[in-house]
Structure 1
């Protein structure tokens, strides 16, 4: 029977002691009582040792003197017994008091107690016999207190272990006892201050030359700081993994050779790849993931990647990648190498950005630009046709009217040749005006500029007002001309300046007709601004401008039947002459449109207009 606890061993010892007393009385042999003396000394204590010897002497005297040997023989045997009992008690007392504890704690030589750290030793059967001073100091007990605890219970050491760790620690210790395998356990141990710290308990068996276990020796290492650091590290890893998996970017890691070995959750969910899937060789192969790219992009992508990996250079590549639903989407792939302190690449970091929506939006924008460009050209041609028809309409109408007058003067009785001659001159001037319009249009399509000549802006304004006299009269518009008589001549194209003034005056008349304002005053002013600029302002009393800047944009119009090209053409003409055209709202109501032109020689103007400028068509 294997005795696994001190209590069981004491019960067996007491039973043996009682049996020895019965045997001594039965066989009439007092020496058998020496066993009882030994049992009493071991089980009861050393202080009761003399009492045990005395009691044994009394029992033996009863046995001896009741026999037939006589008083003399009995006295001698009694004396021998008492001496033997005292000697037995003394030997056991010396052995017990000079135990392994006392020899270590009271001895002067080095031993296991001198080993740095927390150390212990145990008997072959697992009973602990020694804890070095570092252990006793940490748990806050003395050597005698520890010895009494060990004598009382083989597992009394468990009282220092955290309650949640006791069961596992006892199970591991019993396993080592039964198998002889080294002990490797981690548990929380209570210190003298009542706090628990993590310790690693490592114990190995000591064997004799026949392989029998003759003892156990172990060391307890404080790993509380290490455990806390490991917990903090695991927490950081969890947070990093959570960050990598939730960041709205597909991330993957590659070996120094360029073989992928990690995909974040975003990539796995997007592409449907299995991060746990292994190749037949047990290593991930880049060729497997090449199949995710569009067949038209694979060759270029593979060549770019291999070149980057061979040179150790960062890579940015755009290609179409297959999503888990089978749709190919444009991906911007970027790779950066991570190097150690020696410059050796230890891994590659790659990110994939889904730019398919951006690519499609750019393509849609490009197509829209093409359609808009075609629409602009068509609208420009349409507006040009309208402009040509308008410009030709005035001189042609004048030609028709003057031709009728010419015919009437010649048909009179008698014919009035003087008036007919003046009308014929007007017909010639009107035909020349129409020819100039055609010439300007031809120069526009030939991408040539007219010859700038000195012109009088006041004369241009007066001519335009004469042309629009009927429109002013029908619109009940009162014309207010404030023309500077000292206005210097400027170098410009006469026909284009007429076109600009005509557009501005016509817009002012129409603005007041739409607003139903009364009175309808249209003021046209010319003035000199400083020494180098001439300005012409057309001011109406209409509703004003909702957006003074946008009215010069092509196709922007507030008129129901307008094309939005008139003011855009005017700005183009003014800027081609080195000037500026702008618009403002008037605080008292209405709008003001003004253009300024530089004062300079024809040569200077020709030099200015030779430079590339903004043109509408």
Structure 2
């Protein structure tokens, strides 16, 4: 039906049916001319009762709802066509009604009027206050949390980051690619421990949990909640190392007990073997054996027996030194020359090198290097370092298999020995002398630990550094000792 077909009474009925409250004011005096049914119901007055009322009669008794301010608001609508404000009306029974009010200038046929439309917003304001209070609380809670929260989209970009997350990782995380903050390369997708850091920052350990969220199409993605556990991880690592060290000490002590038992049990068979070999040598020399007793064959047998005697004698000396070492070190120390110890070991080092076709070069100091030590134990350190270098070079092409052993007096005056190879270089593990490191397939890591123990008990120092242009240098230095002549003069 066309609008022109509506009767004036129809417009009246439509206006009366509105749920929005309407008041009509005179644009000059601001007196009330008319009110619709919704306004009368809310305010509790009839139209005739409203007409003589003024602002103080139907507004809250507060300065912001004074008559002057009310006229200024309506006057602004008259001048500019429209004006909005928040106005608190007071009903006939004294109830205060907070409203959102809009004043609009309307040019009627008889006069200019101001139509005020208003609606009750008390509940809406209460909801807003509750939401604001809840938001402030959440803001305070999230700001005070030690845990960081980030929400990532499917491309691992940050669509939300809490203050704690920004504090932990630094900078503005919004829109950032979170992959750049994951030090281990993968963005967490399950609960676990991860290392995070801002690009270029120092990584720290975090415990993280993950879950998918979808908040009314407003915030959707993978939420990560994480908190710093670096101190805990470091403490666990220290505990693990301490446990390994205690295990090593337990093995080391057990080895001491076993060494004493082995030294006791093996010394007698070695002595008997030595006697048998000496007897066999004597028989070859006198021709009383079952063979011919002459010729090249006897010389070869004699050569073999001589070397067997040297090996047995070496074993006997090691066992004797072992008993002294496990007991009291001071009782078995003696004044000797470090060069002499190296020369005694050269035979056994060269035997090991020949097995792997490794060339060994000895460069010993021209002057004596007097040390006060248990020479067999220090000799064992020399052979441990030399054997390790030979085994390392055995992995390389034969033309490159070279090991150098040299002695000298260091800058601090202490006698030093260095074993240089041209292999892969010094190990990166800082605990190579703690009995937990080995690069050999069937190694135990005890050799370097035992060498460290022997050298430090002698008051010396042992270490490793890179060789130039390639390889590693294992070295040790012992306290210098006076020569026999100097000792005698004192």
1 or 2, which has the higher helix percentage? 1
Could you state the TM-score of these two structures normalised by the residue count of structure 2? 0.48
Could you state the TM-score of these two structures normalised by the residue count of structure 1? 0.40
